[in-house]
Amino acid sequence: TSDCAASLAACFSLKSRSQAEREASLAWCSEGNSLPLLSVRSGIDLLCTCIRWPAGSEVLITALNIPDVPRILSLHGLKCVPLDLDLSTLSPPPSAITAACTTKTVALLVAHVYGARVDMQPLIEAARSRGLVVVEDCAEAWSGSQGYRGCDQSDVVMFSFGPIKYSTAFQGGIMRCRDAKLLQRMRQVHSQWPVQSKLTYLIRCVRFTAYVLLQRPVVLGAIMWFLKLLGFDHQKFFVWLIRSFSSTSCNSAYLRRLRVQPSAPLLT
């Protein structure tokens, strides 16, 4: 509920968007090599847009991932090559990276899932030996301001603050990039995207605040009973309620929803 109150209060802040963006970036990384985003999905799309890998290039991704990741990569003409995981660590063995690499392989994308922390160092060493860009998807690894911030040796690290995350803002993400020139290109492209309206973010905050307040056994039971009465699948309903991006939208509409700059309240 404290996250709900903070998010709603931010919607009425008088802070300018430029100030909020600058403060968010510096709060995350004092060196200023970070970029606040609408989501990790937006970050992956932005990275692919700016790095411009040739069509048909291959990206190694950890096999346990959300469907949006291969969808975004494929929209940029890239081929996903999944890496099987060791179920005791939820990490691929470094040897799998070497075995999966071809002359077309350009990057390794590692997702930390279910709160597990993958040991990045051996994976980075294997990727570096093949000249790969290393991307960390830490959407499920956020545990607060004093928690894990990604491996310093990763080329790109992205975190999410979506509705099911620890210390949520109901949306938003942030990217850290080691390559100053690449980060500058991403900032330039990102600055051309439309800005999310304050009203859009306010509606989102109200929606998720209501969802949080309704999470009582009696209330949820009544909702589930009513949905069943109407012939709706309650599981699909709740997944739809908390999902940030529709998986059924056409590709052009999907990309338009990703390519939006976060509003001032979200940055605050």
The answer to whether the CB of 237 falls within 8 A of the CB of 247 is no
User: Exposed/middle/buried for 178, CB within 10 Å: 0-12, 13-18, 19+?
Assistant: middle
Which residue, among 166, 167, 145, 149, has the nearest Cα to 158 in the 3D structure? 149
Which is it for strands 133-137 and 79-83: parallel, antiparallel or unpaired? unpaired
* Polymer length of the chain: 268
- The overall longest dimension of the chain from CA atoms, in Å, is 58
CA dist 199 to 34, 154, 206, Å?
26, 36, 10
Lookup: tokens for 37: 């985003």
Local mean pLDDT, 10-residue blocks, the chain (268 residues): 88 93 89 92 97 97 93 97 93 95 98 90 96 94 78 94 81 94 97 96 89 79 88 80 67 94 95
Task: Give the residue ranges of DSSP H helices in 79-197.
Answer: 94-100, 120-128, 180-191
Q: Residue 161: what pLDDT?
A: 87
SS3 36: strand
Q: What's the pTM value of the predicted model, to 2 decimals? A: 0.88
3-class SS string, 43-62: HHHHHHHHHCCCCCCEEEEE
Q: Residue 102: what pLDDT?
A: 97
User: Tell me, what amino acid is at 122?
Assistant: P
CA dist 186 to 164, 237, 259, Å?
27, 35, 12
Q: Residue 260: what pLDDT?
A: 97
Q: Which residues pair with 83 in a beta bridge?
A: 62
SS3 35: strand
Q: Residue 255: what pLDDT?
A: 95
Where residue 114 falls (left for φ over 0; alpha for ψ -120 to 50; beta otherwise) is left
User: Tell me, what amino acid is at 221?
Assistant: G
SS3 135: strand
